Every structure is written in structure tokens, then in C-alpha cells.
Amino acid sequence: MRAFEAAARRVSFVAAADELCVTPGAISQHIKTLEDWAGTPLFRRNAQGVELTKAGASLVSRFTSAFDALADATRALRNLGPDVDFHIAALPSVAQLWLPKRLSKVRAYFPEINFSVTAMETPPSLSRELFDLAIFFDVLDGSPDQVPICADEIVPVCAPALLERVADFETATLLHDQTWADDWAVWSKATATSTSDPIRGPKFSLYSLAVEEAKAGAGVLIGHLCLIEEALANGSLKRASERTCHTGRHLCARLPEDARRRPETDQVVSLLN
């Protein structure tokens, strides 16, 4: 039933699989089992993906309300414990490079609260999962539950020893993070700077790995300024260009709706901001 609700809400087996941390095949099998039990198809499968049948569509709001209510009950049960836990979800690069220094300040202000951090590639559903806060890069949508922290500005950076050898970006080794695979293309276009082939060069599954390789002199990386502020401050990375550009995203804190929000949440966000 959970597989059906996630797939129906997102009209995608793949998106439901990402949300529930299983494979699309597992989602498909669970839904097939449910359809066999109910005796009626809930989805139509086609080459473009899936779509709800009339029977499936009639169930979505009730299933979603039921699982939201279950999440609220689980959250209330968790809050009965004597130890207060505050759960933060964050993009891996944010969790590794931006959050630790700021979270130490938050912990000092709230010594009675246990703060935990889960690194994940996609933002969780705060109405469904037991997170009190999510910190990811996102496009501003005007939602009252979205708190912008800073603009996502980018600029090429490299190790100090490599700086003198970077004559231009046509021949330099370009480092890439797989999450932001188009960083070089975005910066090159925005600043009218030629890179000949913006996708050439080594690629890394974690931005923090790419940052460490840049520090080691392996090449030039597009630096997201809010994530590399400490490296720039201590001199382990230097700007390879003075031309910065904005990606159109912001680093944002996403809060649960008021009814699901802890009383400390707004103050935690204020301390992180």
C-alpha cells in the first residue's frame, strides 16, 4: 500500500522507488500484488511510464491522508521520549562542507537537544518522513516553508600551486561533480569564457571528493562559494577567475508545515542562517 501511495502521488514508479529507497522493480511488484488482491488494475503501464486508472485515481487522496496521519502519529510517539531528537536531512555536500561549523553553534545553544544529520541526494517529504528540517539547493518558490539562506554563486577554483600554471580553461584539467555535471557549461556560458569542451576531465560522485582533489592540485573545479568558504579563507583553494555567476538556485532550508514543526525549528534555522 505504501508503494502504491508513493507511486500514485508522484505518478512514477521510479520516483516512488527513490522516495522509498527501493528499486522500481520492487515498486512494480508490490503494486502488482496489490492489484491482484484488489482484483482491479490501479495503473496503466506504457512506454512513456505509468498513469493511474480511474480506480487508482479514486484512491489517491484517501491513501495519502492515511499515510500522512500515520506519519503524524509516529512523530507524536517519537516526541514522547525524554530525550529530544532533531533530525536534519541535507545534500551530501552541504552535510560535509557547510553544516558542521554552523551546527556546532546550534548545539551550543540547544545543549539538551540531540541533533542528527542524514545525507541524501534528494529532499525528503517532510509531511511523511521524520525529519525536522531539510537543507538543499533549490529554486525559490515563494513558499512560507522555504527559507533561503544564500544564493548559489559559482567560480572556478584550484590549489595555490596550480594557479600560476592555469593559463586558460581551454587546456586546464577540469574537475566535475556528478550531481552538478553542467557546472562548467553554466559558468562558461554565463561569463562568456571559452572552455572548448566543458564536460572533459575527471568526474566525482561526491562534491567533497572533487574539492579535495582540487586542493591536491588535480585540476580546476567549479566552486560553489557557500560550500568552499572555509577552503578559500584558509588558502587551500584560490579563485582561478574573478568572474562569478549565479546558478539560479539558492541554498534553502525547508521546514515542515506549522502543525508538524518543533517549537525550536525557527530558532535553529535562524542560527544556521
| pLDDT score of 83 | 64
Reduced to 3 states (helix: H, G, I; strand: E, B; else coil), residue 119 is: strand
Cβ distance 191 to 245 under 8 Å?
yes
Q: Which run of H or of E encompasses 9?
A: helix 2-10
**∠ CA 52-23-96 to the nearest 5 degrees?**
115
For residue 93, the SS3 value is helix
User: What's residue 215's pLDDT?
Assistant: 97
Domains, in order of start, for the chain: 2-78 (1.10.10.10), 86-148+251-272 (3.40.190.10), 151-247 (3.40.190.10)
Say how many Å lie between the first and final Cα of the chain, rounded: 39
Amino acid at site 199: I
The conformational region for residue 161 under phi > 0 = left, psi -120 to 50 = alpha, else beta, is alpha
pTM of the model: 0.80
| C-alpha dihedral, 115 to 117 to 122 to 128, nearest 10° | -40
Give residue 80's pLDDT: 67
Query: Can you tell me which residue has the cell 545553544?
Result: 109
CA dist 195 and 168 (Å) reads: 8
SS3 146: strand
Pairing of strands 146-158, 245-254: antiparallel
Question: Cα separations (Å) of 247 from 46, 140, 187, 188, 201?
Answer: 35, 12, 8, 12, 21
Alpha-carbon span 31 to 5, nearest angstrom: 10
pLDDT on residue 153 = 98
Q: Which helix (H) or strand (E) holds 64?
A: helix 54-78
Q: Running DSSP on this structure, what letter comes out for residue 38?
A: H
Spans of the chain, pLDDT less than 50: none
